Each structure stands twice: as C-alpha cells, then as structure tokens.
Amino acid sequence: MRKIILLLFFCLAFISNSFGQYYLSGQDPSNIRWKQLQSANFRIIFPKTQEHEAQRIANLLEMSYPHLRNDFSTSIQKTNLILHTHSVISNASAAWAPRRLDFYHTPPQDSYSQEWYKQLSLHELRHIIQFSSLDKGFGKVISALTGQQGTAGVMGVFVPLWFIEGDAVVTETVFSSSGRGRQSLFEAGLKAQVVERGPFSYDKAYFGSFKDHVPDVYELGYVMVGYNQMKHGNEVWSSALDRVGRRPWQLNPFSGAIKHTTGMNKKQLYKSTMNAMAELWKQEDSLFISDSMSQGTADKQVFTNYRSPHFLSDGGVIAIRQKLDDVSAIVAIRDGQEEVLFRQGPMLHNWLSVSDRYVVWSEFQPDLRWSNRNFSVIKTGDIQTGKIKQLTKKSRLFAPDILSDNSKIVAVESDENEGSALVVLKVETGEELFRLQNDSLFFMTPRWIPGTNEFVCVALGNEGKCIMRFNPNDSRLLQLTPFTYTDFSLSDATSEGVFLQGDWKGNSAVYFFRFDDQSLRLIQSSRFGGTEPQLSPSGDSLIFADYSSSGFKLRAIATRDFKGETMDFKQQPNYLIADKLAQNTTLNLDKSKETTSVFPVSKYRKAAHLFQFHSWSPIYIEADNQQFEPGISLFSQNALSTMVTEVGFKYDRNEQTGRVLGNVSYLGFYPELSLGFGYGLRRSKAMYEEKEYDLKWYEADWSISATIPFNLSRDRWLRGFYPTLSFRQIHRKMEPGMPLNFQEATTASISYGFYIYNQSRLAHRDIYPKWGQTFQVLYRHAPFDKQPASQFYAGMNLFLPGLMKQHGIKLFGAFQQEQSGFFNFSNLAAYPRGYTSLSFSEVFAFKSDYVLPVWYPEWNWPAVCYLKRIRGGVFFDYLQGNYSGSTSNLLSAGIELHSDWHFFNIPAPFDIGFRLIYRDAYGDWVPEALFGINFSALY
C-alpha cells in the first residue's frame, strides 16, 4: 500500500507540474471555419477547405491502425486529430491529457523520401498506441482514479523518451520503404560519436550534456529499439509496456521487464547495444579509404557545425555556424579566420544561397497573436555593407536560390491548402515574376542552372523523390529521373548536371547527376556523412560539409580528383535494422494501395465543443501554482486548445472549511479571457476591543481578466508585449449568530498593466540572455470601497554579458507605492534576499546578479541521479522602504551555488542549490536551501 500511495502521488505531481494547464498545442486564427470527419477510430477536425486532405489522412490512419496495434495487442479509443494548415513549422504531436493528435500541414525541405502525411500517420499513430497499451491492470485503476493524466503520468515517469521516440522511428521505417532509419545522416551523429569517442554513459546519452553534443532521443532510441527488437524479438518491448501498465507499483517496471526478457536491465542493455553497434560501425569504418581532401575548418574544442558552405570568387567561404556556446550565425571564412557577417533569426532549414554580393535565406517569423499561424520570409544579407533586408512579408517561402546576376530568386511556396509552388521573385523588390503550381507533388530546394533561366528541383510524391527541370519561358516541367525511395537532396547545379547528397551506397556521400546521359556518379565518399556540396565559381574545387564527432566540418576536393563510379538512380542500399525488421511486417504504407473510403463530414461548431473533461484527481490541484490540498479536481481542455477549465472542491486544513473553486480561460478570441470564481465557508479569529472572536462567514468571489499576448519576435530577438485588464469582486456574509459584521460586505478591485520583454536568443550553454530587457507596469485599486486602496508598481530587468562566455549579469530595479485601505494587495516588489515579513507604503528596490558556469561534472549514480552542471553566482540587493514618515535601508549580499540534476527516469532537470546571505541590518549570515524543477526544458 505504501508503494501504491507513493506512486499515485508521484504521478500526480509529475503531471500537474509538467503540464500546468496541460499541453496546449497553440491556437489557430479565430476566423477559420472548421469541419469534422468521423471514421471508425478517429475524429478529424480540419479547416473547411481541407476536406480532401482530411479524407486521405483518415484513410491512411485506418489502413495503418490494425497493423501498428498488433505489436502491443491493444486497441485505442476514438481519438481527435486536429489539422493545422497555417503554420510553416513541419511538425506533429501526440498528447494524452487530453488524448489527441496534432498534424501540421507544411512538409520540411529536408524531408526523407516519403510523402508527408504518410510519415505523420505512422509515427504519431504509434505514440497513441503506446499510450493505449498502458491502460491495463493497475494502470487502468490509476486511469479510473485520475483520468488521462494518470496514464500520461505513468508513461512520463516509467517509460524513457528514447523508447517512446525510438519505437515510433522504427515504426515509420519498417512499415514503409523510407523513414529515418533509412536516412544515413540520421545515424551519423551516434555513429561518429561511438566510433571516435566511444559510447557515453547511459545517463549522458539520455539526459544530454552541456559539455558535448549528444545525439537526441530519436537517434538513440532507433538504435536501442531496432537493434534489440531484431535480436530479442518484439516481446522485449511489448512485455516492457505491458508490465508498466499492469505493475507500475514495482517502481521500475520497464527495466524489470527488459531484464526478464534479455537478462539485462535497461542500462546494461544500453551498454550491450552500444558495444555491438561499435563493433559493427568500426568494421564499416575500417573499410573507408580516406581521400586527399583539404580541411576548410579546423576541429574546435567546442562542438561546432558548419552548414551550407559556399565559395566566394576571392576564395573565401560563407557558411552557417552553429555552436554549443554561441547562437547561430552566418560567417565568412578566409585564411582560417572567421568573421560573423549576419546574426540571422531561426531558420527552418539550414540552407543558404550565395552570390558575390548577397547571402539569401528563409527565416521563421511568428504571427503577432496566433501561435499556430506563422511565416517563412526571405531575407537577403548584403556582404559588402552587412545590412539585412527582408524581401517578403507574411509569406510561406522556403529554400530560396539567387541567380548569379543578382536579378531573381526562385523559392518553394507551401500554401495553406494542398499545393506546392515554385515562385520566381525580383531581388530588389520581392515582386513575384512567375509561379508554377502543383497539387500532387511537393517541391524541394530549387537551384538555378548557370547561364540560363531554367532551374532544377527535387519533387516528392507518393513514390519517393525525383529530380525535375523547369523552363519558365515555355512552362515545361521535365522529369529527369525516376522516383526513388532512396534518400537524397539537391545542393548545386551546373550547366552539365546537379550535385547531390545521397544514400545510394548506404552512407551519405556526394554524387553528380549528368543531364546529357542521365547518369549518376559517386564523387566523394565520407566517413560518417557528407552533405551540401557546392562547386567553386572557377569550377576547380568542390566544398561540402563533412560530419565527425566534433560536428560538421568543411572539406574541399579538387574536381580533377572526382571519382567515376556509376550508380543506378533507383538503387536502394541495405540497412541492417530496417531490412531485417521489415521482413516481419504486414504493411508497407508506401507500396500499399491507399483506400478511398469516404467518411461522413459535418460542420464543427466551436461553441458546442467548449468542454472536454479528460482528467480528475482525488485531491485538489492548483496546476498553475503547483500546490496540492485535500479535495477533488476536474480538468477540461477542448480539442482546439481554445478553452481550458479547472473546477474542484478544496478543503482548507487550517480553517477546517471547504470551498468550490473554478477557473475558465478562453483563448480563441484576439484577447485571451479568463473567468475565476469561488464560493464557500471561511473561518478566522479576530480581535475587537481587546476581545477575541471566532468568526465564520460565507465568501463568494469572482474575477475576469483579459490580455493580448502580442508576439513581436524578429531576427535573433525574442520580443513580446502583454497588455492586461482585470476586475475582481468579493462578497462576504457572516453566518447567522456571529457577534460582528463586516464594515463592507462587498469589495471590488480593478487592475491595469502591461509587460514587455526583449531578449536575445539563448545558446545551449547560456544561463542568462546575453542582452535583454523586461519592463512591467501595474496599477491596482479598489475605487468603490469606503476606504479605497491602490497600488502602483513598475519593475525592470536588464540582462548584460559578463566577462567571459556564458557569464551573465542581471540587474533588477523596481518602484512600488501603495495606499492602504479595506482591500489588501499582495506585494510585487522583490525584497532583498534574506528578509521576510516587511511592510512599506513606498519601496525602491534594486537587485544584481552575476552568474557563471562552474563545472560540467557529468557524474552519475546509475539508475538514481545524474549531475549535469554546476552554476555559481554572487548577488547584491538593496531596498529603501518608507512607512509613516520613517525610512529603512536594507542591504544583503552573498553567493549562490546551483546544480542541474536528473533523477530516475524523469527528463525534466531538477535545480538543487544553496545560498549564503549576509544581512546588513542584522550583521549576520543566513543559509538557504534552493530547489526547483525546470519543466519548461521539456518544450
């Protein structure tokens, strides 16, 4: 029983903290008109213009479901799928609490050779099946007690993320002819690390590192799940999920089930798997013959990627540079020296186009209000002046390529409906000159053919990828190659052919496809993975990004050293795990004929679907405040993530009374609206005329607030502006027989304010932003009271760089002025550390922090904890407080030491620290323990 109670508490704590208001997938523009489609196992909610796509998705899911569920012998309850068409982010997600799928319409420019909705159907459906497989045995009891949050909690606490994502990648691979398991660059990170540096510890491989680049849980998971499924059969994973569902009270059921099947727990299994893969990969590596290549960039002490390299006519090179200790930048490299040309904003695809005057790229931009509407705009950087110009606005353009005479740009447009288009723009103005629309193919990475107005591109369809050539003068689209499921990408074009990165020999290498004889030749092999080849303006050298355990480095090869091995364009390489596991599957989604069932469609009325209660708990959870009290809670979140509701009953142990509480937030209008309410009995003692009274009264309160979360982020800056307005009213009524009454039975307050932030984006190792400012102003008052109270507050944070990289300075200043009255407002100005229970009518506050990384120890106690980083800092705080004509000056200073930990299987890092404070007013030293959990690190 003790284990069961501990488990329930742990699951509830995990879910309430990690989700807060649970996982919100963002909001779509309010003017979208929605429809719904009902199939046997899914309800698809989609914009009314997307019925054809919704029908196809439903058919793909229903085709896949019987085959994907067999591995875990489970069935799913009817699941909502929301199709988002206004986002340029290529993504999808599966969530449980509430249970749903979110598909985002836009395919990526670096996609592997499979149509987008097929990719999503296999991968995300597998996640829903994983969750469903836990709803058995004691897992069903937890679900009955807590709703969907209980199943999500069991998954989050006991099942490692590498299995969750690795199993889905295995699924997308073995149930198709493509998938990331057949994409050589996908395994390059883990392969290079294991061969050159050896396997990391299990904890480092799973939880990551600030010291080194660590392949993500998708890469690790594919090898772990696929290799051991190949070696031990699917039972190793089906039994693991089965035991997690049936016996979570064992506290380590996943590892226990693995040990029962294989004789090894999960960490021993990891070690065994890495040793086996190391032997295989080292054997492959021994066969690699290194060619004579010049090295364009030296190995760095800090993991560094150089992507999308381009030669300049003066022999210099321009590339994207990505480092653990710095934000991404576009750099010029000459004679081994690097110069930062541009600090670009977030790029959805690591791809540049370069002429002797301009660097051109596409960049992500958010919508002002709607998180599920965003854009991909084209920007040009002038190499001579260093100025950046935004060429398009609110566009959905990707992979731009500039003509060598700087007159035109060709790019791919992915619209909000079903189509893909090749668009030609004028460089100076962004004016559209030409458009080629196609609703059956998705275009990727167009490239101009030098000396012509023609361009080539990759086209992705139901049978994989092919290369196409287009002449705008006669609107002729010519298919140059057959479609193939072998993954490749197009990087550069010449008058004779195109340079490709491809997997035809099972390892990412550089190839050349000739126009005249349609031949494909291997140009340059790579030890772990070569990509993004570009020819020099003189035509005598080729540069490409070559992967190693220290990152993508730039390598150059003379064109006279090109190899000449000819390949069959449709040749498919062998992949050990994928090929072996695919032999036992009953479905290949790429080669199966798609069903064309027509499912009933109806109008989706948003007003009729505001509530969807998905979780509850036998205790009262304040999700926003991360607090627990005796009582009950119910949670609702509708399918479109526009309405979130919490209602419950809370028992106050101090007052020995109970209250009904609730909060409803509607996020589907341009302003976000929140309504809160509460009603119940209250109890307290009061002194009146030197006599103590035990009072009881009924209290009802309600509040309403509105805010508009403007997202102003641009370039390398995160920016936002949040104006707010709120009203709150409290009504109190003494219980009959009480000797005292309230001077004012009803009181109300109004608040007005705004919050502004502007800060530079963070590098992986950063603790504070290098530059940044936040500013908040709030005025609150109770104007209808006989004794009206008011409070004005203004506060600002300023972030500055420290003396070295990753050092940071934060300065805080605030002013607060308060007029006391019947209504009491909570304090907003931060007191100096070490002081509590202070009360002033006027406050001037100042705080300063200097922080720095101390050590990246990467120490672990297997199966228990992993210490990733230790941070240190010093601080100085000052406050001047005025009350009734007297002034107090309070100072404190001291040191802080923080450590970032991971415990058990929980992916969220724990912050455990210590603070030593000197209080000037008392002349003493005060120690404080610090503790926190950073759940925002999960997103």
Provide the CATH number for the domain around residue 466: 2.120.10.30
Please check whether residues 92 and 176 belong to one and the same domain: yes
Q: Which of 550, 547, 542 is nearest to 530 (CA)?
A: 547
Please check whether residues 63 and 185 belong to one and the same domain: yes
pLDDT confidence tier of residue 542, bands split at 50, 70 and 90: very high
Please check whether residues 595 and 545 belong to one and the same domain: no
Write the pLDDT tens digit of every residue in 384-431.
999 999 999 999 999 999 999 999 999 999 998 868 999 999 999 999
Residue range 311-325: average pLDDT? 95
Please check whether residues 315 and 274 belong to one and the same domain: no
Please check whether residues 323 and 444 belong to one and the same domain: yes
Please check whether residues 439 and 558 belong to one and the same domain: yes
Cα separation, 579 vs 432, in Å, equals 46
Cα separation, 302 vs 611, in Å, equals 50
pTM: 0.94
Q: What is the pLDDT of residue 568?
A: 94
Please check whether residues 255 and 299 belong to one and the same domain: no
Domain total in the chain: 2
Provide the CATH number for the domain around residue 246: 1.10.390
Please check whether residues 251 and 348 belong to one and the same domain: no
737 exposed, middle or buried (CB, 10 Å; 0-12, 13-18, 19+)? exposed
Q: What is the pLDDT of residue 884?
A: 84
Please check whether residues 223 and 342 belong to one and the same domain: no
The count of C-alpha atoms lying within 13 angstroms of the C-alpha of 465, restricted to the half-sphere facing its C-beta, is: 27
Q: Which residues contact 936 (CB under 8 A, 6 or more apart)?
A: none
pLDDT confidence tier of residue 299, bands split at 50, 70 and 90: low
Residue 501 counted as domain residue: yes
Cα separation, 471 vs 434, in Å, equals 11
More confident residue, 723 or 735: 723
DSSP at 714: B
CA dihedral over 224, 226, 231, 236, signed as positive or negative:
positive
Q: What is the pLDDT of residue 293?
A: 58
Residue 360 counted as domain residue: yes
Q: Is the pLDDT of residue 298 over 70?
A: no
Please check whether residues 55 and 160 belong to one and the same domain: yes
Residue 331 counted as domain residue: yes
Residue 744 counted as domain residue: no
Please check whether residues 340 and 479 belong to one and the same domain: yes
Q: Show the CA angle centred on residue 640, arms to residues 638 and 645, nearest 5°.
A: 30
Q: Which of 140, 150, 147, 155 is nearest to 12 (CA)?
A: 150
Q: What is the pLDDT of residue 19?
A: 40
pLDDT, mean over the chain: 92
Q: Is the pLDDT of residue 44 over 60?
A: yes
Which structural domain range is residue 182 located in?
A: 2-287+578-603
Please check whether residues 252 and 335 belong to one and the same domain: no
Place of tokens 């009950």: 632
- Tell me how crowded residue 405 is: count the other CB atoms within 10 A of its CB: 11
